[in-house]
Amino acid sequence: MARPIILFSQQWSDLPLEDLAQKAAEWGYQGLELACGGDHFEVQRARAEPGDGQEKRGLLARADLSLPVLSCHRVGQAVCDPIDGRHQELVPDYVWGDGEPAGVRQRAVEEIMAATQAAQELGASVISGFTGSPLWSYVAGYPGPSSAVIAEGFQNFARQWNPILDVCRDCGVKFAAEIHPGQIAFDLYTAEMALDALGGREEFGFTLDCSHFHWQGIDPVEFVRRFPDRIYHVHVKDAALTVNGRSSLLNSYFPHGDPRRGWDFRAPGRGGIDWESLIRALHEIGYQGPLSVEWKDSRMNREQGAEEACKFVKRLDFEPAGRSMPL
């Protein structure tokens, strides 16, 4: 289909953007999902130096790459999380500041607002990202949260994100919250609850990444059908279940690639996701946005993998039927 196949830059932040752009183009990609942070795209610098955005666009254009989506996953995590030491590594120094939680959260909000304006200037119509969650520590643990605690968590989420979404509305940019453990919305029903908490405002939709659904037992096709007009972005990442009686779906505390995990990410097409049914569901709802390869596979060489993934998605994304045919 005419959907652009793009590469998410987060996993390549160790390469200069120019090098990445050249490689991505050679591998067959048509654009990037550019991750804020680090050298690739520093929001504050972009705000300070008016030509910076233009320069990035030029750099990508020279490699014949589009820039339909800007990612602010990392800083988004700080918007409504309880802040602890882990967040220092996720956000720029000027967002972390003295690390006092309320201040970090506030500066994270401002950073995403700035990123939204940058997206507008860069011509990206979607910001993808994490939201953080005031409730995550309660999930699956003991004791469960009371309904009052849950309600307060969603109000907190709405308080933090509504001002950002106002900026999105003003900039004509949509926010695509990734459905992901650790975020306010991590499954179908929490996605419903998040949307409700925001009064269903149109600036807010979802980034669909099936790899996070797989081990939770959720069918991404059901998700697509439940939110046909809220799929604002799609990540292509595979996952494999590796439960063997001893490993747990919660993965103990093991990093990716550890054989004692109960599931792990895999290069697209090398895991257990039913891509054929997913692409048909995306055809069904008329999704027109990009398919963004988030390349994570701890056992495979990433350059070989990224090239293979681009080819995989091209084969996958067949041309939908235009009209009825004779039976």
Q: Which of residues 160-199 bind a copy of itself (CB under 8 A)?
A: 180-183, 186-190, 193
138 binds a copy of itself per the rule CB under 8 A: yes
Structure tokens at 56: 């990035």
86 binds a copy of itself per the rule CB under 8 A: yes
Strand partners, 177: 129, 206
- Under a CB-based contact definition with an 8 Å cutoff, are residues 33 and 41 in contact? no
List, in order, residues 6 or more apart from 116 with CB less than 8 Å away. 127, 164, 167, 168, 171, 173, 175
307 binds a copy of itself per the rule CB under 8 A: no
Beta carbon nearer to a copy of itself, 123 or 144: 144
| Nearest approach, Cβ of residue 237 and a copy of itself (Å) | 12
276 binds a copy of itself per the rule CB under 8 A: yes
Structure tokens at 226: 């439940």
| Nearest approach, Cβ of residue 187 and a copy of itself (Å) | 4
283 binds a copy of itself per the rule CB under 8 A: yes
| Nearest approach, Cβ of residue 73 and a copy of itself (Å) | 9
Report helix, strand or coil for 131: coil
From the list 26-34, 165-173, 197-205, 214-222, the region that binds a copy of itself by CB under 8 A is: 214-222
Q: Which one among 48, 93, 102, 141 touches a copy of itself, defined by CB under 8 A? A: 141
- The answer, yes or no, to whether the previous bond of 143 is cis (omega within 30 of 0) is yes
Q: In 10 A of CB 216, how many CB atoms?
A: 13
Q: In 10 A of CB 321, how many CB atoms?
A: 8
Beta carbon nearer to a copy of itself, 111 or 187: 187
Q: Which one among 139, 162, 169, 311 touches a copy of itself, defined by CB under 8 A? A: 139
| CA–CA separation, 127 and 148 (whole Å) | 31
Q: Which one among 48, 102, 200, 246 touches a copy of itself, defined by CB under 8 A? A: 246
Q: Which one among 164, 247, 268, 312 touches a copy of itself, defined by CB under 8 A? A: 247
Q: Dihedral sign, CA of 52, 54, 57, 58?
A: negative
